[in-house]
Amino acid sequence: MSGHSKWAGIKHKKAIVDAKRGQTFTKVARELSVAAREGGPDPTSNFRLRLAMQKAREVNMPADNIERAVQRGAGGKEGAQLEEIRYEGYGPHGVAVMVDVLSDNRNRTVAAVRNLFTRSGGSLGETNSVGWMFAQQGVLHVAAGDADPEELALALLEAVDVGTDGDITVDGDTVVVTVSPADFEAARATIEAAGHIVESGEVTMSPSTSVALDAKQAAAVLRLLDALEEDDDVQQVYANAEIPDDVLESVG
What is the set of domains in the chain, with CATH numbers?
A: 83-132+209-249 (3.30.70.980)
3-class DSSP assignment, residue 128: coil
Instruction: State the helix-helix crossing angle for 184-193 and 149-159, rounded to 10 degrees.
Output: 120
Please tell me the distance from the alpha carbon of residue 147 to that of residue 194, in angstroms, as a whole number. 13
Please tell me the distance from the alpha carbon of residue 155 to that of residue 194, in angstroms, as a whole number. 10
Please tell me the distance from the alpha carbon of residue 98 to that of residue 47, in angstroms, as a whole number. 22
Residue 239: predicted pLDDT? 94
Q: State pTM to two decimals.
A: 0.84
Q: What is the mean pLDDT of the chain?
A: 87
Q: Are 70 and 41 in contact (CB under 8 A)?
A: yes
Higher pLDDT, 128 or 80: 128
* pLDDT tops 90 at residue 15: no
Please tell me the distance from the alpha carbon of residue 177 to that of residue 201, in angstroms, as a whole number. 9
Number of neighbouring beta carbons within 10 Å of residue 71: 16
Higher pLDDT, 12 or 103: 103
Q: Tell me, what amino acid is at 221?
A: V
Residue 1: predicted pLDDT? 29
Residue 68: predicted pLDDT? 94
Q: How confident is the model at residue 51 (pLDDT cuts 50, 70, 90)?
A: very high
205-216: pLDDT as tens digits: 989 899 988 888
Please tell me the distance from the alpha carbon of residue 187 to that of residue 175, in angstroms, as a whole number. 13
Residues 6+ apart with CB under 8 A from 244: 3, 4, 213, 214, 215, 218
* pLDDT tops 70 at residue 79: no
Please tell me the distance from the alpha carbon of residue 7 to that of residue 134, in angstroms, as a whole number. 11
Residue 70: predicted pLDDT? 95
Q: How confident is the model at residue 184 (pLDDT cuts 50, 70, 90)?
A: very high
- Per cent of the chain over pLDDT 90 is 67
25-42: pLDDT as tens digits: 889 999 999 999 999 999
